[in-house]
Amino acid sequence: MRAKGMTYDTGFVRHGDISRKHFDPGVVRRELTVIRDELHCNAVQLIGGDPERLEFAAGVAAELGLEVWFSPYPLELSPDEILELFADCAHRAERVRRTGAEVVFVAGVEMTLMNPGYLPGDHVGDRVARLLGAEQPRKVELITTSSRALNEFLGKAVAAIRERFGGKVTYCAVPLERVDWSVFDFVAVELIRSAAVADQFEQGVRTLVAQGKPVAITGFGSAAWKGAPDVAPTAMDIVENDENGVPLRLDGVYERDEDGQARYLREVLDVFDREGVDATFVFMFALENYPHRPGGDPRDDLDLASPSIVRVGEDGHSWEPKAAFHAVAASYLK
């Protein structure tokens, strides 16, 4: 792999609320330094919905010599709101690029699922449930029509971004989205192995690479509860959320299995490296709103459902490495 990366959360914005409440510049600098020095990453994908936070983190990452994937993450936004976000972020990403940094602009993530207007449903969970529950002919129709609308939107978005940003551009797709990659510099896919597709996973990666354009795997990982790697794409579904999507508690009692999470990451990173993937971004370093709460009600320990490679404390900024942290470091050091 050319780019060995980590995904870093600057805060998801949904309905005006931001998931990461503590965004201390000193903590951000320290964590990005850890990503470079202890995880042996040479790239970082910065995701979130606050343009100022993204630009600050990108500037720090650039100073540290990391390749920056500048990834505004639209959640429940209209097309006009997304275009406004992208235009703002493209200006900011260009400012960072002009310091001499290598910057890639990511024009959205899983947008047919994460935003209204592509699939029926009032929120992401509703949209996913309706799509998966549809009969096959209807499912094919939904995927076809949503992908057509997505490509139409991305054409407009990429044109607006390239007016403001001089670096490379991509989009982070889920496999069901039929993206027109001709307008992008990378094929970028959220590719998460589960037990159901394990026997096809390596061939699927090989097929992506065979298309000829550099491939980035921009979202992959699992949680730290026993059995999570088998259902990795839905491993966070054991969380009960409030009406705004804020995580509250687990839906039952689960056994911690950090070694299973670590083994999963080692195995998929080995596949990506062996099959010639250009860039990988482990999902993710830390999630502040999924804190580790040992010693109390086991349903309150949200870290079990988190794909993060560290255990985040209740204060939101202290953390301890999980086994997955050391697994990623060892894989990237090779």
pLDDT given for residue 317 in this prediction: 83
- Is the pLDDT at 125 greater than 90? The verdict is no
How much is the average pLDDT of 235-263? 94
DSSP-assigned beta bridge partners for residue 13: 18
**pLDDT per position as a tens digit, 275-319:** 999 999 999 999 999 999 998 999 999 999 999 999 999 988 899
Q: Is the pLDDT of residue 130 over 90?
A: yes
Contacts of 56 (CB under 8 A, 6+ apart): 25, 28
Q: Which residue has the tokens 């999507």?
A: 245
For residue 334, pLDDT over 90 is answered with no
Q: What would the pLDDT profile of 252-278 be if each residue is shown by its tens digit?
A: 999 999 999 999 999 999 999 999 999
d(CA 275, CA 272): 5
d(CA 150, CA 177): 8
Nearest residue to 104 via CA among 94, 115, 112? 94
For the entire predicted model, the pTM comes to 0.96
Compute the mean pLDDT over every residue in the chain, rounded to the nearest whole number: 96
Question: What's the rounded mean pLDDT across residues 165-187?
Answer: 97
Axis crossing angle, helix 51-63 with helix 25-37, rounded to the nearest 10: 50
Q: What span, in angstroms and rounded, lies between the C-alpha atoms of 277 and 315?
A: 37
Query: What pLDDT, on the 0 to 100 scale, is given for residue 39?
Result: 98
pLDDT(235) > 90: yes
Question: Among residues of the chain, what percentage have pLDDT more than 90?
Answer: 94
21-45 mean pLDDT: 97
Cis ω on the peptide bond leading into residue 6 (within 30° of 0)?
A: no
Alpha helices in the chain, H assignment, sequence order:
25-37, 51-63, 79-97, 111-114, 124-133, 136-164, 198-210, 258-274, 323-333
Convert the pLDDT of each residue in 93-102 to its tens digit. 999 999 999 9
pLDDT attached to residue 245 = 80
Distance CA 152, CA 219 (A): 24
User: 152-166: buried (b, 16+ CB within 10 Å) or exposed (e) per residue?
Assistant: ebbeebbebbeebbe
Q: Is the pLDDT of residue 18 over 90?
A: yes
For 87-113, what is the mean pLDDT?
Answer: 98
Whether pLDDT at 244 is above 80 = no
